[in-house]
Amino acid sequence: MARPVVGIIGNSYLLNDQYPVHAGGQMNSDAIAEVSGCLPMIIPTDPKHVSVAELLEICDGFLLTGGRPNVHPEEYGEAETEAHGAFDRARDAIALPLVKACVERGQPFFGVCRGFQEVAVAMGSTLYPEIRDLPGRMNHRMPPEGTMEEKFELRHDVTFVEGGVFHGLMGSSTVRTNTLHGQGIKEPGPRVVIDGHAPDGTPEAIYVKGAAGFTLSVQWHPEWNAAQDPVSKALFGAFGDAVRGWAARGNVPALKAV
């Protein structure tokens, strides 16, 4: 029996500083194949190549991955500054309407890091350009030096709302996570439920209120060591179950949640 397909939102890179590519981290594909039990398919995230309508038909669910470029601040009504860093407007043009369409249809997606921010912005949130510049906040960015193990080391706790969605999924109100991001939610959109925070108050776990499908998104990188880490296994396992449920219904949009 064919596995359901998860579209992995790809990023644009220059290979050897000159050859343009669309790519996705191997750990994303590993997590989808080995933990979610789905077929990973990297998407060339550019409206020149794909449309949201086509992706909704071809894929059963979507992994909104991390990436170095940030969501352009024009998408949440703010002017571009140097602090906002680099951008990928082609990815913005696909990922943001894709999130909105999935919420409307009940089609599952899982947002990670930049993907978390895409979900937040698509649902009406604003972002801080640089968390570490805010009073009382820690530096959430990837350490500039060290091995991959050191860069993805579990560095802080995330505390979930007691009795909330993430608490129920994890079976615990507090988990330990890595942290490799620069931006974060400033003002959540009206349907964005912040269900988990870092010790410094930074939002780390969200979902979309009233959505019929899986909309969980996290600010950390659960794709790292996903097959062994219990937090990652819970997230990617639940996402895989949601994708299989969508596929079993034959890609029929679910009834809207109340």
Does residue 36 form part of some domain? yes
At 121, the amino acid letter reads V
**pLDDT tens digits, 131-142:** 888 888 887 887
Asked whether residue 252 carries a pLDDT value surpassing 70, the answer given is no
User: Per-residue pLDDT averaged across 145-153, rounded?
Assistant: 86
Does residue 48 form part of some domain? yes
Does residue 254 form part of some domain? no
Q: Look at residue 140 in the predicted model and tell me its pLDDT.
A: 81
Confidence of residue 257 (pLDDT cuts 50, 70, 90): very low
Does residue 255 form part of some domain? no
Does residue 191 form part of some domain? yes
Do residues 4 and 40 make contact, with C-beta atoms less than 8 angstroms apart?
no
Domain count across the chain: 1
d(CA 140, CA 143): 9
Closest Cα partner for 59 from 94, 89, 87, 93?
94
Q: Look at residue 164 in the predicted model and tell me its pLDDT.
A: 97
Does residue 256 form part of some domain? no
Asked whether residue 246 carries a pLDDT value surpassing 50, the answer given is yes
d(CA 105, CA 256): 8
pTM: 0.94
Burial of residue 176 (CB within 10 Å: 0-12, 13-18, 19+) is middle
DSSP class of 220: S
d(CA 86, CA 119): 19
Q: 71: domain range?
A: 5-248
**pLDDT tens digits, 219-240:** 999 999 999 999 999 999 999 9
CA distances from 115 to 1, 150, 225, 250, 251 (A): 30, 23, 19, 26, 23
Does residue 257 form part of some domain? no
Does residue 92 form part of some domain? yes
CATH number at residue 48: 3.40.50.880
Stretch among 58-62, 69-73, 131-135, 175-179 having the lowest mean pLDDT: 131-135
